[in-house]
Structure 1
Amino acid sequence: MLRVESIVAAIHEIPLREPFATAQDRAPRTVARLVRLQVVLSDGRSVISEAVPAPYVTGETCETLVQDIEAAAPHFIGLDGTRLRPMLAAAHYAVPAYHHTARAALEVAAYRTYSLATGADLWRHFGGALESIDTDITISRTADPVKAAEVAAHAGFRRVKVKAGDPPHQEVERLAEMHAAAPSLTFRLDANQAYTVQEALDLATQIAAAQLPVEFLEQPVKWDDYDALARVAEASPIPIVADEAVKTPEDALNLIATTRVHAINIKVMKSGVTGALGILAIVQAAGRKAMIGCMLESSSGIGFSAALACGTGAFTYVDLDSHLLLNEPQDNPWFVQQGSTLVLAHTHRAGDGA
């Protein structure tokens, strides 16, 4: 029997290739701060997981993540690594319910421990639907939009996520310039809660009038204002996607019952693995679209989300690109990046590259 011997968590900083900012950032970020977690088994082998906090989404920081993981560790020590459910249960009762990112790190560690201990293939565990997925790449608010669009198109990307937040007419002008420079690209506009209802509708209306290739507008209003999101989704001429508004399956039920949002962006770091799968089931049952996204995970975190996305084959929209924004080695045991395509690394599926 392979048992969990120890769990260690430490804060890491990975430089970003370029300064990065969303509408929620007071200043551009130059490093990604995350917590890396290592689980050591009784035979000496180990797996890694990570937690990437977004304080404006879950309220967590790297410091609170370390505290939560260290407090939860005694509940994992001695557990049988070949039994997944008891490890997931430990992640739930040992971490406060609203600390979604800490729970996510422990759940990913549990899945990878189970995979390593049993030789189980996580991609097959989640369904084995696809062996690769096509992702977009994100353009920061701090980037030169025309240059960034040209670089993305040249690299083989067909879709880019554009971080928004400026007045509607400025955003439309910027999108028009990007479209002129890279006409092959389709845009996904992510407002990160920047707008009022009227501003969001003005933006959507101007985009439609200009006939710009915008696939959707993501989280245009405050995360906790479901009435505002409902009003935008009802009147917008382009699809509306919810992100920060949905962290739990309960949130998904409430949002789907009260709004006509086109899709929900599901993130492991925002909801945990169990929560993400629960949200996905609700989205599918309601006939809405699912998107899988990320915070600023390294290749380790993206590797798990890629296995989940490929395994289920359930995501219409894929935004798993944060590893490309980090100044880290691109070789990893989880997947191979081929242009805009993430191809799972077949030879490392057992143990999920542990």
Structure 2
Amino acid sequence: MKITKIDIYAIHLPLIEPFVISYDTYDTMPSIITKITTDEGIVGYGEAVPDEHVTGETWEGAYMMLKHQLAPAVIGQDPLCFEKIHDLMDKTVYLAPAAKAAIDIACFDIAGKKLQVPVYQLIGGRYHEKFPITHVLSIGSPEKMAQEAAERVEMGYRSFKMKVGTEVMKDVERIKAVRERVGDAIDIRVDVNQGWHNAATTLKGLRALRKMNLDWLEQPVDADDIDAMVEVKAKSDVALMIDEGLHGMKEMREIIAKRAADKVNIKLMKCGGIYPAMKLAHMAEMAGIECQIGSMVESSVGSAAGFHVAFSKKVFKSVELTGPLKFSKDIGNLHYDVPFISLNEKSGLGVDVDESIIKELCQFSCSVDGKEEGNE
């Protein structure tokens, strides 16, 4: 089987309400959808949700890289040869993990459909039956975040990921307001998205939060400052998760060597897709580090890919893949039994993609054969 054509669509996914984190506010989520067709007529879908603050890629840049470099590099290749596909992409382009994930995910979708099994059967088989879904609270006033949390508890949610990362003591007020509103039985995870920058500020915040019974604290310091994570971990009894500080094997080796985190947040858009995500999970497992699968707020395509990885390995203890729940219109039909997710047994990603919605949301598109389909 060979890849014969790759269609690339740059779309804007409409959010129900703005998504606010420490470094940006999103009214829509820019995404790139790949549609890979093979000589056997099997079609697979992939997704890239680049973030210049995290992956180092812009939406426009990732699109152009897929069009001019990555897609041409894999035309004619067998989509089931994952190692070779990644080797070709790595030789063609340095880094660019989200763009590479768009190819990787589509290849796994094809492989599953070819072999008539779900993707998770290709990477270890199904271990988990279901995962609880954590609701993500965007940055807002303490009152607004507490009210939203209370409403979600009524809907059945038992855990929250709080986005903070402004002034540390204002963030403390937000966290205390939510804890007081939902009580001690609800799990609260705090994601700073690097917003506290250094160990000193982070430790100041943690001292003020000593009685808040946090599940864990995620990426409080600048991404490249692994040593600051080491200092925070050594001086605090709150579990520490690394996110933006982990991209690929280079960072994972340093995290393991320095024992810089209790948990790692693996995202397909940061590491390059399903295949490299599994490599990171194996490394973490050998080091006794728990894993989470997170997302860059992806559609049903990218979210399903992340779920297949999470469901296939014991080392994954949590998931944060709630993009489809945040969109007013999605390109696929990934199903949530709120507050749980339980994957189906359909082949490939198990997601039906509506190409009419892709075209509706599309800003520009192309095929690697050079036939323009948009208005670049």
- 2:279 corresponds in structure 1 to 278
* Helix, strand or coil at the partner of 1:353: coil
Q: Which of the numbers 44, 49, 54 marks the counterpart of 1:47? A: 44
**TM-score of the aligned structures, taking structure 1 as reference length:** 0.91
- 1:215 corresponds in structure 2 to 215
Query: 1: distance between equivalents of 2:3 and 2:249?
Result: 29
Matches within 5 A, 1:314-333: 314-329=315-330, 332=333
Query: 2: distance between equivalents of 1:59 and 1:83?
Result: 27
- 2:172 corresponds in structure 1 to 172
Task: Name the amino acid aligned to 1:113.
Answer: I
Q: CA 1:200/1:224 → structure 2, altered by over 3 Å: closer, same or farther?
A: same
How far off is 1:82 after superposition? 4.8
How far off is 1:344 after superposition? 0.4
- 2:117 corresponds in structure 1 to 120
CA contact (8 A) 1:91 1:106 kept: no
- 1:147 corresponds in structure 2 to 147
How far off is 1:166 after superposition? 3.0
**TM-score of the aligned structures, taking structure 2 as reference length:** 0.86
Matches within 5 A, 1:220-239: 220-239=220-239
Tell me the C-alpha RMSD between the 2 structures: 1.9
* Helix, strand or coil at the partner of 2:215: strand
Q: Which of the numbers 199, 206, 220 marks the counterpart of 2:208? A: 206
- 2:245 corresponds in structure 1 to 245
- Where structure 2 has 5 or more consecutive residues not aligned to the other structure, the ranges are 353-376
How far off is 1:252 after superposition? 0.7
Task: Name the amino acid aligned to 1:22.
Answer: I
* Helix, strand or coil at the partner of 2:41: coil
CA contact (8 A) 1:304 1:352 kept: no
Whether 2:256 is the aligned partner of 1:256: answer yes
How far off is 1:60 after superposition? 0.2
CA contact (8 A) 1:116 1:352 kept: no
* Helix, strand or coil at the partner of 1:327: coil
* Helix, strand or coil at the partner of 1:312: coil
Query: 2: distance between equivalents of 1:247 and 1:233?
Result: 20
- 2:374 corresponds in structure 1 to none
* Helix, strand or coil at the partner of 2:10: strand
CA contact (8 A) 2:307 2:321 kept: yes
Judge which range, 298-307 or 36-45, deviates more: 36-45
C-alpha deviations, 1:59-110, integer Å up to 9, x for none? Answer: 101111112212222232222345444434333333x232111111111111
Task: Name the amino acid aligned to 1:87.
Answer: I
Query: 1: distance between equivalents of 2:119 and 2:179?
Result: 39
Query: 2: distance between equivalents of 1:268 and 1:350?
Result: 17
Q: State how many pairs are aligned.
A: 345
CA contact (8 A) 1:146 1:178 kept: yes
Q: Which of the numbers 57, 70, 73 marks the counterpart of 1:72? A: 70
C-alpha deviations, 1:232-267, integer Å up to 9, x for none? Answer: 111123111111111011101112212441111111
Query: 1: distance between equivalents of 2:306 and 2:78?
Result: 24
How far off is 1:351 after superposition? 5.7
- Identity %, equivalent residues: 24
- Where structure 1 has 5 or more consecutive residues not aligned to the other structure, the ranges are none
CA contact (8 A) 1:20 1:142 kept: no
Task: Name the amino acid aligned to 1:281.
Answer: H
- 2:194 corresponds in structure 1 to 193
C-alpha deviations, 1:111-144, integer Å up to 9, x for none? Answer: 1122222323312122221232222111101372
Q: CA 1:198/1:351 → structure 2, altered by over 3 Å: closer, same or farther?
A: closer
